[in-house]
Amino acid sequence: MRVVSVIGARPQFIKAVVVSRALRAMPGLREVVIHTGQHYDDNMSRIFFEELEIPEPDYHLGIGGGTHGQNTGRMLEAIERVLLEEKPDWVLVYGDTDSTLAGALAAAKLHIPVAHVEAGLRSFNRRMPEEINRVLTDHISDLLFAPTETAVQNLLREGISPDRIHLVGDVMYDAALYYGEKAEKHSQILKRLGLVPKGYILATVHRAENTDDPNRLRVILEALAEVHREVPVVLPVHPRTRKRVEEFGLSGFLGYLLTIDPVGYLDMVMLEKNAWRIATDSGGVQKEAFFYKVPCVTLRKETEWVELVELGWNRLWLLEDPGALRGLLLDNWSRVSTDFPYGTGNASVKIGELLTGVRLLSKGA
C-alpha cells in the first residue's frame, strides 16, 4: 500500500512526525511525503526535520509566501502532478492549512481516497481561512480521524456518514508524550534566556484575525506589555507577526517583551512545560498547555478546542476589554478538572491500523 502525506506548515511537521513513525511500522505500507513549502524559513521548517528526525520529504514543491488563492492554486497543480506519478492508495492530510485543502482537493478530483487527521474541528467562524479549509477537507475526505468526541459530533451534525468517522484521539498528545522527556534532556533554552521555571508567561500570536488588523494587533501587544510589568512575557515571534508589526509601525511594543525568533519543538516544549501561564492564539499551543498542566488564555473570542474551556484550563480573552487580559492570566486557577478528552497517546497507531486494516493494538486500547 502506498500513502502520500501532504505537509507544509509548522504544526503539520509535528503531527506528521508521530504519524509517519506509526505508518512506517505498518507491514507493507510505503509512505511518500510531499512538503508544499508553505512554511520555508529554517526555523519554521528545516529545524523540525533535523531535530525530530523526520525523513526528508520525497517532494519539495517550494510554494509559499503568496496569498491564499495563489498558494492553494499552485499547490493543487503541483500536488496533482505528483499524485499522477505516484498513484497512491491514500492521500493523508493534516489539520486546516492551505496545504491541507490543496492536498485533499487534488486527491479527491483524481478519485484517490483522502484521509484527514484532525477532522471535525470547528470554530463556527467562517471568516477564518482555517474554518473554510477544515469544512471543505472534511466533506471530501473518505476517512475522518477525529481527535475528540466533540469533533465527531460536529461531523455527524453536518451529515457525514458515521462509518467514515473514527475517534482516534489527538496525535499532538502522542507527540507530547514522545518528546516531553526528550525536551527536558536536550533543551538549554531556559538557561539561554535566563528564565526561572514557573517565573514567566509564554505567549504566541500568529492568527490572521489577530495580526492583519493593526488595531487588534496593537491591543494584544499593549496588553502583553502591561502583563510583562509584573511577570516576564516570552514571545517567540511568528514570521507573519514580525512582518505585520513592522508594516503597522508597532515594533516599539516588542521592546517591552522578551521577544525571540521562532524556536524548534524541543525548546518550545521546554518553554511550555516551565511556563507559569500561557497566552496564545495557536491551536497546538493551547492543547500543549493542557498536556503540561499550564493554565492558558486564548487570545481569541472562540476556540475549536472547546473541552479546554469546559474543563477550566483555558479562558477566552474577548479582546473587547484590553485590560482584562491581566486578570484572566493572573487570577485564581484552582477550579480545574482532571478529565482528559484527547485519547491515550496512541492516535497515530490507530490511524495506521485504520488505513491498512492491520491490527497492532490490543482490543480496547
For residue 284, which amino acid is it? G
Q: How many CA atoms lie within 13 A of 26 on its CB side?
A: 25
248 lies in the binding site for ligand UD1 (CB under 6 A): no
Q: Kindly indicate which of the ranges 77-85, 156-164, 257-265, 352-360 contains the residues binding ligand UDP, using the contact rule CB under 6 A.
A: 257-265
Q: Kindly indicate which of the ranges 107-115, 279-287, 304-312, 332-340 contains the residues binding ligand UDP, using the contact rule CB under 6 A.
A: 279-287
Q: Who's near 322: CB < 8 A, 6+ residues apart?
A: 219, 222, 223
Nearer to ligand UDP, 292 or 360 (CB): 292
Rounded Cα distance between 347 and 21, Å, is 12
> Could you say which of ligand UD1, ligand UDP, none residue 268 binds, taking C-beta under 5 to 8 angstroms by partner kind?
ligand UDP
Nearest alpha-carbon partner for 307 in 336, 281, 331: 336
- Which one among 64, 262, 295, 352 touches ligand UDP, defined by CB under 6 A? 262
147 lies in the binding site for ligand UDP (CB under 6 A): no
Which x/- pattern, by CB under 6 A, does the window 42-61 give for ligand UD1?
--x-----------------
Q: Kindly indicate which of the ranges 9-17, 73-81, 297-305, 329-337 contains the residues binding ligand UDP, using the contact rule CB under 6 A.
A: 9-17
Rounded Cα distance between 244 and 204, Å, is 14
- Which one among 31, 86, 98, 138 touches ligand UD1, defined by CB under 6 A? 98
Cell numbers placing 12: 503539520
Q: Who's near 292: CB < 8 A, 6+ residues apart?
A: 176, 180, 269, 272, 273
Rounded Cα distance between 126 and 140, Å, is 18
Q: Kindly indicate which of the ranges 3-11, 85-93, 219-227, 336-344 contains the residues binding ligand UD1, using the contact rule CB under 6 A.
A: 3-11
Q: Kindly indicate which of the ranges 105-113, 181-189, 256-264, 334-342 contains the residues binding ligand UDP, using the contact rule CB under 6 A.
A: 256-264
- Which one among 36, 38, 137, 141 touches ligand UD1, defined by CB under 6 A? 38
- Which one among 134, 166, 206, 350 touches ligand UD1, defined by CB under 6 A? 206
96 lies in the binding site for ligand UD1 (CB under 6 A): yes
Q: How far is the CB of 136 from ligand UD1 (least distance, A)?
A: 12
312 lies in the binding site for ligand UD1 (CB under 6 A): no
SS3 318: coil
305 lies in the binding site for ligand UDP (CB under 6 A): no
User: How many angstroms separate the most distant Cα atoms in the chain?
Assistant: 58
- Run of H or E residues at 203: strand 201-204
**How many other C-beta atoms can be found within 10 angstroms of the C-beta atom of residue 189?**
21
137 lies in the binding site for ligand UDP (CB under 6 A): no
Q: Who's near 77: CB < 8 A, 6+ residues apart?
A: none
CB 271 within 8 A of CB 234: yes
Nearest alpha-carbon partner for 28 in 66, 64, 2: 2
Binders in 42-101 for ligand UDP, by CB under 6 A: none
- Residue 238 falls in the annotated catalytic set: no
Rounded Cα distance between 111 and 319, Å, is 44
65 lies in the binding site for ligand UD1 (CB under 6 A): yes
Burial class (CB within 10 angstroms; exposed 0-12, middle 13-18, buried 19+) of 197: exposed
Nearer to ligand UD1, 268 or 355 (CB): 268
Q: How far is the CB of 287 from ligand UDP (least distance, A)?
A: 8
97 lies in the binding site for ligand UD1 (CB under 6 A): yes
For ligand UD1, the binding residues (CB under 6 A) are 9-11, 38-41, 44, 65, 68, 96-98, 129-130, 206, 239-240, 243
For ligand UDP, the binding residues (CB under 6 A) are 10-11, 14, 204, 206, 236, 262-265, 268, 282-285, 288
Catalytic residue annotation? 206
